[in-house]
Structure 1
């Protein structure tokens, strides 16, 4: 029994000694490299680049080698005496001038203060490849719309030259817009060149427009040029007063609340509260869903190759509501709410077929509060079209449509006073004047002519 106790004590002491030496004296955890995922692939040699390490026992030393084609350009070794738990190592910049496109390999090793490995400590080594890129992107406008109007939109095609482009955006001074690559099939550009295009909006709520294009490459080099458009500040705003009849509200609000909300009809005090809920909260929810669909689900694929057709969704239609209308709603002679109409209302016969004017893909198809049965089709370059108040539609998200396909049928679903189509045109979530997009001359001058001018300009250079 005594021998067994002695054996157990010896084993326990051995375990304790092992733990002490391995976890305190001979700690075996290597320094942790913390910044690999955030490192760029290209370097402009202006910004400082740092590698970050951490270790519980502290950082003892580091070494750096800079290699070009397996030849060592620079080497450095240094002891870190203050034993920092975290350590930032700034990569040394090459002492000689190097051409853009040159790849440097940084071999970095960091050692800690552990007594393991015969008191040499633990070591972490990392290799970092960086392409030298000191040149900012070059932006050249190829063609653009001749002007832009407040509440309207414009189109621009431009060329960007850079060896490692990262992002291209447009701005109207307040809102940003993605740019999209465009390829002319009969034109081949240099490997470091690409054509980009985008629609840009001047939303009704923005008083000013200051256009610009900004390009940033993977080395964080930036370029920005102004996008000059002659501007039309005049916006035709029509004001209309709408009297809400109690019998209409009772029938319409009851069915709407049953379809779109968890709140029951009887939970509101009166029709005024019910209408405010529909016209403001449901409208806001609609807007958020449409914004998400037209900004986050759009892809780089474009259904616009060399132009677009005017939007003519209904045959023999008349306009019963204009874009930008300021609508004041009254109940019992009291002003209840004011809203702006962000689409074009078109009426024809009851349950009239709605036709696609341009190809695209369905990015939203559901019942929305005010809009009722709704479909949103994405066409390309950030452009989408919305069709609301439909009585029926067989489309579903992901369906591709071609010009002439039936989108659905007019109706009075949602907040509608009668059978009609509510048509919206959206540029990356911003509703713009539909009257422009239904006007053949405007479409030809502001969209199709831009494609033709840019193509001709590039073709002349290739031929030369």
Structure 2
């Protein structure tokens, strides 16, 4: 019995020693390296780049070798005496000047304070490849619209030169706009050059416009230039007073609220509450869905590669509501709501066919609370057109359309006082003056001429480049 007790004691002691040695003294967990995904592929040599490691037994030492063309350019290492459990290593910058495009490979090894591996500890090694890029992008405006007006828009085509471009954006001083890569047939560019284009908006709610273009490369080098459009500060705003008749509200609101899920006619105290819900909350809901469609589903593909036609969706149409109208709604002589009309209302015969003026792809097609049966078509360079209050449409999201195709038919769906088409033009979610886009003279001078001038400028540069060789 005594021998059995001794044997059990020895076994237990051995187990405890084994656990202690393995989990505390001879711990075998290698230092954990935080993912490489946070590191750039290019380095401007101005910003510090760091690698992060962690280990429960503490970091003992590190070593760094910097290789150029498989040859060691320099190396360094150090013992870390304070045994940190979290350790950040800044990559050493090369002491010699290197050309842009040079690739450096950093071989980094970090060891911990474990006594495993004959007291050498556990070691983690990683290789990091970085391309040296110290030059900022170069931006050159090729052509732009001659001016921009408040509530309107403008177009610009420009060239960016850089080894590894990451992002190109435009700004009006308040809102940011994505730029889109563009290719002209027959134009040859250098490998580090690319042409970009974008429409930029000056929304009605913005008092000022301060345009600029900004380019950032993969090494975080950046450059920006001013987009100096001559500016027209005035915005034509017409004011109108609309009297809401009780009989109209009863018939329209009841049918309209039935179209909106989770909302009932009887759930409101009176017609004023029902009207405010439609005119303000439903309008806000519509705006969010339209904004999402016109900012997240747009792509680099352009359906207007050489120019655009004026938007003229209805034949023999009469304008019954202008963009920028300030509409004041009255109920029983009391002002209940004021909103701005962000489109152009066109009326023709009942159920008139709506024609596409330009090619594009359908990015939204559904019934919206205020807009009724609605379709949004994306044309390119951030430009979209919206068609609302339709009685019918066979379009679906993803359909590609051509100029002359039928989009749908006019109607009075949604918050409409009669059969008509509500047409909006949107630049990356911002509604802009439809009067401009339906004006042939403005379209030619502000859009189509920009394509022509940019192409001519690139052909001239190609010719000069060829003469220089």
Q: Which residue of structure 2 aligns with residue 36 of structure 1?
A: 36
Distance 2:424 2:12 in 1: 78
Distance 1:52 1:357 in 2: 56
Distance 2:10 2:286 in 1: 74
Q: Which residue of structure 2 aligns with residue 114 of structure 1?
A: 114
Distance 1:319 1:2 in 2: 108
Distance 1:242 1:26 in 2: 83
Secondary structure of 2:37's counterpart equals: coil
Secondary structure of 1:386's counterpart equals: strand
Is 2:53 aligned against 1:53?
yes
Secondary structure of 1:223's counterpart equals: strand
Secondary structure of 2:314's counterpart equals: coil
Is 2:145 aligned against 1:145?
yes
The alpha carbon displacement at 1:346 in A equals: 0.4
The alpha carbon displacement at 1:263 in A equals: 2.2
The alpha carbon displacement at 1:8 in A equals: 6.0
Q: Deviations over 1:371-422 (max 9, x none)?
A: 0000000011000000000001111111111111111110000000000000
Distance 2:346 2:152 in 1: 19
Q: Which residue of structure 1 aligns with residue 372 of structure 2?
A: 372
The alpha carbon displacement at 1:336 in A equals: 0.5
Distance 1:362 1:11 in 2: 75
The alpha carbon displacement at 1:461 in A equals: 1.4
Q: Which residue of structure 1 aligns with residue 315 of structure 2?
A: 315
Q: Which residue of structure 2 aligns with residue 62 of structure 1?
A: 62
Is 2:322 aligned against 1:342?
no
Distance 1:10 1:418 in 2: 96
Distance change in 2, residues 1:73/1:344 (3 Å): same
The size of the alignment, in residue pairs, is 464
- Range with greater deviation from structure 2 (149-158 or 5-14): 5-14
Distance 1:7 1:285 in 2: 77
Distance 2:3 2:360 in 1: 86
Is 2:196 aligned against 1:196?
yes
The alpha carbon displacement at 1:85 in A equals: 1.0
Secondary structure of 1:309's counterpart equals: coil
Q: Deviations over 1:272-327 (max 9, x none)?
A: 00000111110000000000000011111111110011111111111000000000
- Range with greater deviation from structure 2 (29-38 or 214-223): 29-38
TM score, norm. by length of structure 1: 0.98
Secondary structure of 2:38's counterpart equals: coil
Q: Which residue of structure 2 aligns with residue 389 of structure 1?
A: 389
The alpha carbon displacement at 1:18 in A equals: 2.5
Runs of 5+ in structure 2 lacking a partner?
A: 465-469
Distance 2:275 2:261 in 1: 13
Q: Which residue of structure 2 aligns with residue 250 of structure 1?
A: 250
Q: Which residue of structure 1 aligns with residue 437 of structure 2?
A: 437
> RMSD between aligned alpha carbons?
1.3
Q: Which residue of structure 2 aligns with residue 398 of structure 1?
A: 398
Q: Which residue of structure 1 aligns with residue 467 of structure 2?
A: none
Runs of 5+ in structure 1 lacking a partner?
A: none
Is 2:329 aligned against 1:351?
no
Written as runs of structure 1 = structure 2, the 5 A alignment for 1:22-421 is: 22-421=22-421
